[in-house]
Structure 1
Amino acid sequence: MALIEIDNLSVHFDAGDRIVKAVQEVSLKVDARESYGLVGESGSGKSTILRAICGLAPISGGSIRIGGEPLKTPRGKGFSARVQMVFQDPYSSLHPRHTIDSTLAEPLAIHGVGDTDRRVVQALKDVALDPKFRFRYPHQLSGGQRQRVAIARALMLQPEILLLDEPTSALDASVQAETLNLLNRLRAERGLTFLMVSHDLAVIDHMCDRVLVMQHGRAVEELARADLAAARMQTDYARTLFEASADRLLDTA
């Protein structure tokens, strides 16, 4: 049984004078410990799928199951202990007036988990940050350091699944590579399952076992990593994305 099962998912938004069909009848399955990518241009619906899983976007049709169980609305503590999301912009996703210590301790307090001091220090070490960062504020950290804090926060409750919404697109190239390598290491060490969004096939190639190419809210084509590396695309759109990322694919191979 797949850990994440999405069947004929549709997400529609009321834009006043029209209905925006952000996602249209998309289906996918992600196995436990797999890293699965969603790729496509801006507006393709890939991030909306992650938001629908988290309950941040309305499900207009279809279903989402985690571990064979349909998701409840609202999601509740059980969901957040099992599934966490890392957002694109590490600055806006961290409260500017909370120290890193407060940010990391908050999910533990909400879920009644003790041993806070040790867990916070260990979380920083796990993402290769010195414990001295504990009492700093987000504006005192670099973009890459802030994203490491965001990753540490997502891992505080030891979830099975990380939803990664363009987690490195706001970072420069060198920091991006470091962050991707960190995520790969954490997945291997903790047996995590990733569902990752990117507009860049080079990032997906570096991170994911399989990828679903999306366009205008619809699934276009699913590719295994071997098919991606060998440029075995069946659709013109997937090939266009591949060609746009070809140099970076070679760099990360």
Structure 2
Amino acid sequence: MALIEVKNLSVFFEAGDRIVQAVKDVSLSVDAKESYGLVGESGSGKSTILRAICGLAPISRGEILIDGKPLETPRGRAFTRRVQMVFQDPYASIHPRHTIDRTLSEPLAIHGIGNTDARVVQALKDVGLPESFRFRYPHQLSGGQRQRVAIARALMLEPEILLLDEPTSALDASVQAETLNLLNRLREERGLTFLMVSHDLAVVDHMCERVLVMQHGRAVEEMEHGALANASMKTDYARMLYEASADRMLG
């Protein structure tokens, strides 16, 4: 049985006097410890799927299951212990007036988990940051360092699943590679399951065993990593995305 199942999901939003269908009847499944990618241009609905899993977007039709059980609305503490999300912009997702220590300690306090100091120090070490960063503020860190803090925060509760919403797109190219390698290492060490959104097939090629290509809210094509690496996609849209990323994939 898959760890994550999305069944016939549709998400509608009201935009003034009209209804926008952001996701249209999408199904996918992610096995435990797998890294699964959602890829497509801006507006394809891929990030909306992550937000629906977290309860941040409405499920208009269909259902989402974790371990075969439908998700509760609103999501409870048990969900946040198992599932955490890393957002695209680390500066926007981390409170600018909180120290890194407070940012990392807060999930532990909410869930009544002790041994805070040791856990915070270890979390920084796990993402390659020195202990001295504990009492810095986000504006004192680089973009790559802030994203490492965001990843550390997501891991504080030792979740099984990370939802990754364009986690490197706001970073410089060299920092992107470092961050992706960090995520791959953490997944291997902790047995994590990734559901990762990207507009860039080169990123998905580096990270994911399977990928679902999306366009205008619909699922266009699902590919195994081997098919992606061999450029054996079946749809014109998937091939267009591949050609746009081909140089970085070959590099």
Q: Identify the TM-score tier after normalising by the shorter chain.
A: over 0.9
State the match for 2:130 in structure 1: 130
Q: In the TM superposition, what is the alpha-carbon distance from 1:143 to its structure 2 partner? A: 0.2
- Aligned pairs (5 A) from 1:172-211: 172-211=172-211
Q: How far apart in 1 are the matches of 2:184 and 2:2?
A: 20
SS at match of 2:96: coil
State the match for 2:100 in structure 1: 100
- Aligned pairs (5 A) from 1:208-219: 208-219=208-219
State the match for 2:235 in structure 1: 235
What TM-score, normalized by structure 1, do the two folds share?
Answer: 0.99
Q: In the TM superposition, what is the alpha-carbon distance from 1:48 to its structure 2 partner? A: 0.2
Q: How far apart in 2 are the matches of 1:232 and 1:23?
A: 26
How many correspondences in the alignment? 251
Q: How far apart in 2 are the matches of 1:188 and 1:64?
A: 25
- Aligned pairs (5 A) from 1:60-99: 60-99=60-99
- Unmatched tracts of structure 1, length 5 or more: none
Q: How far apart in 2 are the matches of 1:116 and 1:227?
A: 45
What TM-score, normalized by structure 2, do the two folds share?
Answer: 1.00
SS at match of 1:92: helix
Q: How far apart in 1 are the matches of 2:18 and 2:236?
A: 29
Off by >4 Å, runs of 4+ in structure 1: none
State the match for 1:2 in structure 2: 2
SS at match of 2:91: coil
State the match for 2:41 in structure 1: 41
Q: How far apart in 2 are the matches of 1:76 and 1:106?
A: 17
SS at match of 2:221: strand
- Aligned pairs (5 A) from 1:18-57: 18-57=18-57
Q: In the TM superposition, what is the alpha-carbon distance from 1:93 to its structure 2 partner? A: 0.4
Q: In the TM superposition, what is the alpha-carbon distance from 1:134 to its structure 2 partner? A: 0.3
Q: In the TM superposition, what is the alpha-carbon distance from 1:195 to its structure 2 partner? A: 0.1
Q: In the TM superposition, what is the alpha-carbon distance from 1:10 to its structure 2 partner? A: 0.3
Q: How far apart in 2 are the matches of 1:227 and 1:216?
A: 23
Q: How far apart in 1 are the matches of 2:185 and 2:78?
A: 25
User: What amino acid sits opposite 1:220 in the alignment?
Assistant: V
Q: In the TM superposition, what is the alpha-carbon distance from 1:228 to its structure 2 partner? A: 0.2
Q: How far apart in 2 are the matches of 1:221 and 1:178?
A: 29
Q: How far apart in 1 are the matches of 2:46 and 2:6?
A: 13
Q: In the TM superposition, what is the alpha-carbon distance from 1:16 to its structure 2 partner? A: 1.8
State the match for 2:147 in structure 1: 147
Q: In the TM superposition, what is the alpha-carbon distance from 1:187 to its structure 2 partner? A: 0.1
Q: How far apart in 1 are the matches of 2:171 and 2:238?
A: 25
User: What amino acid sits opposite 1:46 in the alignment?
Assistant: K
Identity %: 82
Q: How far apart in 2 are the matches of 1:116 and 1:243?
A: 47
Q: How far apart in 2 are the matches of 1:124 and 1:69?
A: 33
